[in-house]
């Protein structure tokens, strides 16, 4: 199930994503020395902008196969609602990617490849976090715009409408963190059943009936640890950050900076995909 696991995470990152803080980019060191750091408080208007320098997906579900490689610029998270027990966070970004896909269509297979340019597309979505521990309760995302698409056997690429949307139902919350954070903190990812509902609208504008598929899979449990707080430099500045990593394998490594109230760096490397990103700006204080 690892390939399904990484697809869920990557769609999350695309749709939502991955984290950070503003205060104009001065390159100055922002430091905290606390031995324990509790869950931050977010307010409406708080925002973090990330640069996803690289992401990759190699996804197979029954007769469907999708391979995509690219990056996301100006991947911005903005807190839009804090009135209930959860934070509602709107996400947006500009995607650059190349892709290949094989869609089952009747008794045949539709093979396509193409390019997504940031000037012609946008990512929008929403992530819901618990206030108590910044656990992910829900997320959805969509890529909409124009892609240069070649549909085989047509020999040339055509500018065609594209809409890829994804929504997830989680059986339980998804704990990126376990507050308070401190040295020698350990926690485990619980068993999580995830239902992904993904739609390719109108097959690039030519076939008017969207291809929609649903997948159900269990998150493979991981154990996470914090062994050290260290200085991390990203485009937004230099921060004292907790290094959080998977105990088995080099699958997950990400950095949480208390002064930013969010992640500042993430590096995920799974057998069927990966993602790397850094904080470039934030207004969190």
- Nearest residue to 185 (alpha-carbon basis) of 224, 222, 226, 221: 226
**Residue 12: pLDDT above 70?**
no
- What is the model's pLDDT at position 208? 57
Is residue 13's pLDDT more than 50? no
- The CATH number that applies at residue 136 is 2.40.128
CA atoms within 13 A on the CB side of 39: 15
Question: Distance between CA atoms of 234 and 27, rounded to whole angstroms?
Answer: 9
Looking from the CA of 259 toward its CB, the CA atoms found within 13 Å total 20
At 214-223, the pLDDT tens digits run 555 555 556 7
Give the number of domains in the chain: 1
Quickly list DSSP for 66-97.
EEEEEEEEEEEEEEEE-SSSEEEEEEEEEEEE
Structural domain boundaries enclosing 37: 2-282
Q: What is the mean pLDDT of the chain?
A: 78
Say what the pLDDT of residue 111 is.
87
Q: What is the pLDDT of residue 21?
A: 23
pLDDT tens digits along 141-182 = 888 888 888 888 888 888 888 777 777 777 778 787 889 998
* pLDDT tier at 276, thresholds 50, 70, 90: very high
Q: What is the pTM of this model?
A: 0.80
Contact 40, 261 (CB under 8 A): yes
pLDDT tens-place string over residues 51-108: 999 988 887 767 778 888 999 999 999 999 999 999 999 999 999 999 898 877 777 8
pLDDT of res. 258: 95
């Amino acid at each position: 199930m690892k390939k399904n696991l990484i697809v869920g995470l990557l769609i999350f990152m695309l749709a939502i994503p991955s984290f950070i803080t503003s205060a104009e980019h001065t390159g100055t060191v922002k430091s905290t020395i606390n031995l324990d750091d509790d869950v931050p408080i977010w307010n409406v208007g708080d925002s973090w902008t990330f640069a996803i320098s690289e992401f990759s997906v190699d996804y197979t579900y029954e007769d469907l196969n999708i391979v995509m490689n690219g990056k996301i610029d100006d991947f911005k998270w903005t807190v839009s609602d804090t009135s209930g027990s959860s934070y509602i966070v709107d996400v947006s970004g500009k995607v650059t990617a190349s892709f290949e896909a094989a869609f089952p269509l009747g008794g045949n297979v539709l093979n396509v490849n193409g390019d997504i340019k940031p000037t012609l597309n946008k990512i929008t979505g929403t992530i819901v976090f618990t206030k108590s521990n910044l656990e992910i309760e829900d997320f959805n995302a969509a890529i909409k715009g124009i892609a240069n698409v070649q549909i085989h056997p047509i020999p040339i690429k055509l500018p065609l409408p594209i809409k890829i949307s994804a929504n997830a139902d989680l059986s339980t919350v998804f704990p990126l963190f376990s507050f308070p954070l401190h040295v020698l903190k350990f926690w485990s990812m619980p068993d999580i059943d995830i239902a992904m509902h993904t739609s390719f609208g109108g097959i690039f504008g030519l076939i008017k009936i969207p291809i929609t598929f649903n997948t159900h899979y269990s998150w493979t449990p991981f154990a996470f640890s914090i062994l050290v707080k260290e200085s991390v430099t990203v485009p937004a500045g230099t921060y004292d950050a907790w290094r959080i990593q998977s105990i088995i394998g080099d699958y997950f490594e990400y950095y949480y900076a208390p002064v930013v109230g969010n992640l500042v760096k993430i590096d995920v490397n799974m057998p069927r995909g990966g993602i790397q990103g850094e904080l470039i700006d934030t207004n969190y204080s």
